[in-house]
Amino acid sequence: MIKLECASLKGFLECASFSVSDGNSCAVLAETDFEKNLLLRVLTGLAGLDSGKVFIFGREISSITYAELGEVRKKMGVVLSRGGLVSNLKVWENLMLPLAYHASLSYKDMEEKMMNVLNNLGYNDDLNMLPGPLPTYKKKLLGLARAMLMEPDLIIYDSVFDGLSSDIRNRALEAVNAFHKEKKGRVSLFLATSDGSVKDIKADSVYVLKKGSFHERN
């Protein structure tokens, strides 16, 4: 599902390789936020390599057209560390519009699906407000909900559990672990910079990105 093959990028990666097979979950610990964010850009095709290859769903993403990359991204979900919400759209619009563009569902079915996901995450705030005034933890929960609504085959979590209180974190972890199991072959990738960020995550493998290479923990 995800594979980096001898990936090199000056000042960052030196013939680095790692892979995550279908149905597995994986955590990658980078040394800095800069490295973590750059890895996310590499994996989503927003940053190119000097050499080496990145495979997503078996496609080498640097060798496909922009339109083909768009089709690959439709099967991916990314949950950004601060939610990644659009500031001038209401909360419900942030959640429903991507679903309306890409899913063949009635408005009633989309609304029911949205409420089920929000309930699982423990989010019960006003959906008609703009996201700007919301505390960061609520933006994180909404980012999780938006990605889950699209039911991606691959979902990447960018430090989403950092700064959450223990009860909110536990509720979110429970929802994330259940979501991973809902779809056969789904891959979950957790990017973080500290062990505490991935504590209690049920990862099949853990890699540490250090000095340009990935080192798998036993």
pLDDT digits over 171-195, tens only?
A: 999 999 999 999 999 999 999 998 8
**pLDDT tens, position by position, 69-89:** 989 998 999 999 889 999 999
The enclosing domain of 102 has a CATH number of 3.40.50.300
Average pLDDT over residues 23-38: 95
Strands 205-210, 76-79: pairing is unpaired
The mean predicted confidence, pLDDT, of the chain is: 92
Task: Specify if 204 maps to a domain.
Answer: yes
Angle CA 195–196–201, to nearest 5: 85
Return the pLDDT at 163: 87
Write out the residue range of the structural domain in which residue 127 sits. Answer: 22-45+77-210
| Span 54-73, pLDDT tens digits | 999 999 998 989 899 989 99
**55 part of a folded domain:** no
> How many domains in the chain?
1
CA distance 42 to 108: 37
